[in-house]
Amino acid sequence: MIDGAILIGAELRQAETRFTSVDPATGETLKPNVSSAGPADVADACALAAAAAPAYAATDPETRAAFLERIADAIAAIGDPLIARAMQETGLPRARLEGERGRTVGQLRLFAQVVRQGDWLDATIDPALPDRQPLPRPDLRRLNLPVGPVAVFGASNFPLAFSVAGGDTASALAAGCPVVVKGHPAHPGTGELVARAVRDAVAAAGLPAGVFSYLPGETNALGEALVADPRIKAVGFTGSRGGGLALMRIAAGREEPIPVYAEMSSINPVILFPAALAARGEALAPAFVQSLTMGAGQFCTNPGLVLGVASPELDRFVEAAGKALSESQPATMLSPGIHASFEKGVDALAGHNAVTQVARGQVGEGVNQAVGALFVTDASAFLADRALGHEVFGSSSIVIRCRDLAEIGTVIASLEGQLTATIQIDDADADAVRGLLPILAERVGRILANGWPTGVEVSHAMVHGGPFPATSDGRTTSVGTAAIYRFLRPVCFQNIPEGLLPEAISDANPWSIARRVDGKREASTR
């Protein structure tokens, strides 16, 4: 069922102001047209979320985990209509969207496990020391509580896994925070299908309706009003640098500033170390091109920068990559706007007097097609023009010829914060890697060896984050179980009687969670 509704808790609303989305593969306008949520919808959704917050925060882990699993089940139950609609709205192929649906329901179920396990509470007890001199120590108990209602901005490039019920929503709900989603205007039908599934899960779980609301819309004003609402206590966002910076400014300028977790921009350097390049430079090229062109290059972790020491081996890599790219097929981009930005970025590189175009991919039929692009330049040119380090969202990459390893280090040190860095290494590169790893670790959230940055595992050890401007807050990750900590804050209870203590830090420990007592971690009693 898609009728372009706004979902304010359980309530379905239709607005007079409407917008439409297009099938990027054809340029055709899709039906139905969709309600544009307005200021009153924002206020109502936030009021309902604030009203629901205490009851939702008080849910026990089993209730909250079962709710997350219900959402997963409800999304799975939509079946093929969800995939079909997402294909229409995004131009992404079926296999990719089925995989993404698996990731979406999988991360909801993983967060259910995390909620039950209880480490996220960080339950910490310092027992009273009544006889301590010169002063007794009181009984001190700390746990994490949810921050309150969270605004989530759906991303265009992951219409399921980072949209209405994606990673930000899953981690915020897991933390005990109501969520108000600002839907991405490029896939409103997909968004509505998922939003209705979440709404059904809220009702089935017997939770207050304000735990989840969904605001479709295409104006910046909608998102700005949501972040400015005083009842919103944190923001999750994946999108453009300009969009993220705008939300950061609004959040910082509020009477009560709030944290913004914006995942914005990254060019994901790949460093070809000399021994690896000599041993398998040509073999690396097609794998690199596959990572570059996957999903029309529309990944936050797309490898947009390649660094190597100028050498015949690097020349052969560039040649082989150019050959592979020139044979690559075009792919439909997510939206006309993203396609236009990609073309503009590629044209700027192609027209740059210090940059040489190595190859373009195959040109195809139809609109909004990403034609891959590979460029090469020297480190001195790259260092002289910061614009060459800006993200071109899509399948475009630039190879930087460096004089030596030291100049590779100079280029890395000149980079802004990144989500990832990839190192292609052989045993003989170990000393060179040791020299560069500390510089890399300062600038990125994930360092990976002998693979490619696209493909982000949803697990405990994952970091999908990084120093600004990769994200607005390099202390966090937006993918993986650690994402839950973004929406929690610690509260200490001092000398509170057992009967009034939160369960997680009571003597009874009814949830049998692991706790830290007097600085030492005790095992879970389960």
Q: Which two tokens stand for residue 307?
A: 């660094």
The nearest distance, CB 23 to its own copies, in angstroms, is 28
Bridge pairing between strands 515-517 and 150-153? unpaired
Q: For residue 11, give the amino acid letter.
A: E
**Options 263, 313, 391, 416, the catalytic residue:** 263
Q: Kindly give, in sequence order, each residue whose CB lies less than 8 Å from that of residue 435, ignoring residues fewer than 6 positions away.
A: 405, 409
Total length of the chain: 526
Whether 63 contacts 34, CB under 8 Å:
no
Which of these segments, 189-197, 309-317, 320-328, 440-448, binds its own copies (CB under 8 A)?
Answer: 440-448
The residue (of 114 and 358) whose beta carbon lies closer to its own copies is 114
| Residue 145: CB minimum distance to its own copies, A | 6
Q: To 5 degrees, how large is the angle CA 70–CA 476–CA 456?
A: 65
Q: What is the CA angle 503-505-509, rounded to 5?
A: 60
CB of 429 to its own copies, least distance (A): 9
CB of 364 to its own copies, least distance (A): 27
Of these, 130, 206, 351, 438, which contacts its own copies (CB under 8 A)? 438
Size of site (CB under 8 A) for its own copies: 83
CA-based radius of gyration for the chain = 25
What residues contact residue 253 under an 8 Å CB cut-off, 6+ apart?
A: none
Contact 335, 157 (CB under 8 A): no
Nearer to its own copies, 103 or 401 (CB): 103
What's the CA gap between 248 and 258, in Å, rounded? Answer: 9
Under the binding rule (CB under 8 A), the answer on residue 287 touching its own copies is: no
User: Pattern 311-340, binding to its own copies, x per CB under 8 A?
Assistant: ------------------------------
* 68-87 binders of its own copies (CB under 8 A): none
Phi then psi dihedrals of residue 156, to 5 deg: -75, -30
* Structure token digits, residue 271: 């460093």
What is the 3-state composition of the chain as percent helix, strand, coil, each rounded to the nearest 5? 45, 20, 35
> Pattern of binders to its own copies over 471-490, x per CB under 8 A?
-xxxxxx---xx-----xxx
- Using the contact rule CB under 8 A, the part of the chain among 301-309, 392-400, 403-411, 453-461 near its own copies is 453-461
Binds its own copies (CB under 8 A): choice among 4, 149, 259, 394: 259
Within residues 84-143, the interface with its own copies by CB under 8 A covers 99, 113-114, 117, 119, 124-126, 134-135, 137-138, 140-142
Please report the sign of the dihedral spanned by the C-alpha atoms of residue 474, residue 480, residue 482, residue 487.
Answer: positive
Asked whether position 257 contacts its own copies by CB under 8 A, the answer is: yes
**Is residue 445 a contact residue for its own copies (CB under 8 A)?**
yes
Smallest CA-to-CA distance from 232 within 50, 80, 18 is with 50
Q: Binding of its own copies at residue 65 (CB under 8 A)?
A: no
For the bound state, the minimum distance from the C-beta of residue 179 to its own copies, rounded and expressed in Å, comes to 17
Q: For its own copies, which stretch binds (CB under 8 A), given 75-83, 205-213, 311-319, 461-469? A: 461-469
437 counts as binding its own copies under rule CB under 8 A = yes
Residue 354 in the binding site for its own copies (CB under 8 A): no
Q: Which of 62, 327, 404, 442 binds its own copies (CB under 8 A)?
A: 442
Contacts to its own copies from residues 23-62, by CB under 8 A = 54, 57-58
> Is 300 an annotated catalytic residue?
yes
Q: How far is the CB of 182 from its own copies (least distance, A)?
A: 22
Q: Which of 399, 462, 484, 513 binds its own copies (CB under 8 A)?
A: 462
d(CA 116, CA 113): 5
User: What's the DSSP call for residue 29?
Assistant: B
Q: Which is nearer to its own copies, 120 or 375 (CB)?
A: 120
Which residue's CB is nearer to its own copies, number 52 or number 374?
52
Contact positions with its own copies (CB under 8 A) in 140-179:
140-142, 145, 147-148
Enclosing H/E stretch for 13: strand 11-13
The tokens 């040109």 sit on which residue? 363
Tokens of 474: 């390099």
Near its own copies in 217-236, by CB under 8 A: none
In DSSP notation, 98-141 reads: HHHHHHHHHHHHHHHHHHHH-GGG--EEE--BTT-SSSPBPPEE
For residue 434, state whether it binds its own copies (rule: CB under 8 A): yes
Q: How far apart are CA 47 and CA 56, in angstroms?
A: 14
Catalytic residues: 263, 300
